Structure 1
Amino acid sequence: MIKTVIFDMDGVIVDTEPVHRYAYFQHFDELKIPVTEELFTTFTGNSTKNVFQSLKDRFGLTGEVEDLVQRKRAIFNDAFDFKEDLFLLAGVEDLIKDLHQNGIQLILASSASKVTIERVFRRFHLHQYFSHIVSGEDFPQSKPNPAIFVHAASLSEAPIAECIIIEDSKNGVTAAKAAGIYCVGYNSEHSKLQDISHADLIINHFNELDAQKVKQLT
């Protein structure tokens, strides 16, 4: 029986991707680097640090990675604070509350920075539901490397066989499977061009899940 659900955040709980996208492309313009849509799509599920390390290698950027990261985050934070149309994705708050009320442990494992996670959790009052929060900035490699999910599962009160992961990106699904954890792929309208076909179960809306259904997933 499933006792722990590990959530990704961007594209699963909240869609901050438009804000991230705005910040990234504003920064790309400042840096005068030609990042295509195809290249940008491959970064989904990666930490900001690893995105800029990749871009530094590809385009020969001279700035320090940490400085590049901080500039992008500054643009993001300014946009986040003024963006009023930022909402939890349809149905996810009801699912989170239902899982919590039925004794299922919730853990967040997101590639987002701790600062971004804290902004989202504080804005939408999510701390009360999650026992642990894991940020990708604490790991040298991003998804599809499974390290973040292996660590999240180690925080579970249940064995790994009684955990599931909810993801919306190709890199996230790949990381979940590499960690040996059952993966629910959320086919989000906000996560375009993502191949989640390797997920164990694919859903199109969170109303397809509830605590009783989740407990029976294997």
Structure 2
Amino acid sequence: MIRTVIFDMDGVIVDTEPVHRYAYYRHFEELGIEVSDDEYAGFTGRSTKNVYQHLKDKHALQHPVQELVMSKREFFNRAFDEKPDLELLGGVRQLIEELHQHGIQLVLASSASRATIDRVMQRFALNPYFSHLVSGEDFPRSKPDPAIFEHAAALSGVPRRQCVVIEDSTNGVAAAKAAGIYCIGYQSEHSLLQDLRHADLVVGHFSELTAARIAAIEPA
């Protein structure tokens, strides 16, 4: 029986990807570097710190990584605050509320910074539903490294066999499976470039999931 659901955030709870993309490319333009669509797609699921470490090494950027991260974050925060139509993804609030009502613990494990996580949690009043919020900026390696999900499972206090991860990215699914946790892949219109074949179950809308269905999962 599943007792804990570990949610990714970007692309699973809220679609901040267009805001991130805008912020990244404004910053890339400022830095004078070019990033292809294919290379950018590979950044999905990785922390901002790791993305900029990669770009710093590739382009011999002179700025410290943390300075690059903060510059990008300024672009993101302005766009996030000014975007009036930013909403939770369809059906996810209902699923979160139902899981909470049925006593299933919810943990957030996102590659986003803690500041961005807090911004989303406050804007959509989601804090009461989650027992723990885990940010990828606290780990030296990003997804597909399993550390973030291993830590989230440890915080939950239940065996990994009683946890489920919900992810929308190639890197996120790989991280969940590397951590030995059952993974539900969320295939949305915003994650068409992501490979979810290694997920244990793939859904296209959160209406396909219920607390009873998730609780009844028996990992192999």
TM-score by length of 2: 0.98
2:164 is aligned to 164
Please give the alpha-carbon distance, in whole angstroms, between the structure 2 residues aligned to 1:42 and 1:58. 15
Residue 217 in structure 1 maps to residue 217 in structure 2: yes
Aligned residue for 2:90? 90
Using the TM superposition, name which of 66-75 and 152-161 deviates more. 152-161
Unaligned runs of 5+ in 2: none
Tell me the distance in 1 between the aligned counterparts of 2:61 and 2:191.
28
Counterpart Cα distance in 2 of 1:34 and 1:192: 23
Q: CA deviation at 1:156?
A: 1.2
Contact 1:2–1:215 at 8 Å: present in 2 too? Answer: yes
Distance in 1 separating the partners of 2:184 and 2:79:
31
* Corresponding residue SS for 1:125: coil
1:123-162 to 2 correspondence within 5 Å? 123-162=123-162
Aligned equivalents of 2:195, 2:212: Cα separation in 1: 27
Tell me which residue corresponds to 2:199: 199
Q: Aligned-pair distance for 1:18?
A: 0.4
Equivalent in the alignment of 1:121: 121
Secondary structure in 2 matching 1:14:
coil
Secondary structure at the aligned position of 2:5 is classed as strand
Sequence identity percentage: 64
Aligned partner letter, 1:101: Q
1:72 aligned partner, one-letter code: K
State the Cα deviation string for residues 79-100 of structure 1 (Å, max 9, x = none). 1110011000000000000000
**Does the alignment pair 1:190 with 2:190?**
yes
Shift of 1:192: 2.7
Count of aligned pairs: 218
Q: Deviations over 1:165-215 (max 9, x none)?
A: 000000000000000000000001112300011000000000001110001
Q: Note the C-alpha offset of 1:60.
A: 1.0
Contact 1:4 1:157 in 2 (8 A): no
Q: Distance in 2 between matches of 1:24 and 1:198?
A: 28
User: 2:200, 2:75 → 1: CA distance?
Assistant: 37
Shift of 1:65: 0.5
Give me the whole-angstrom Cα distance separating, in 2, the residues matched to 1:104 and 1:35: 41
Structure 1 gaps, min length 5 = none
CA contact (8 A) 1:107 1:131 kept: yes
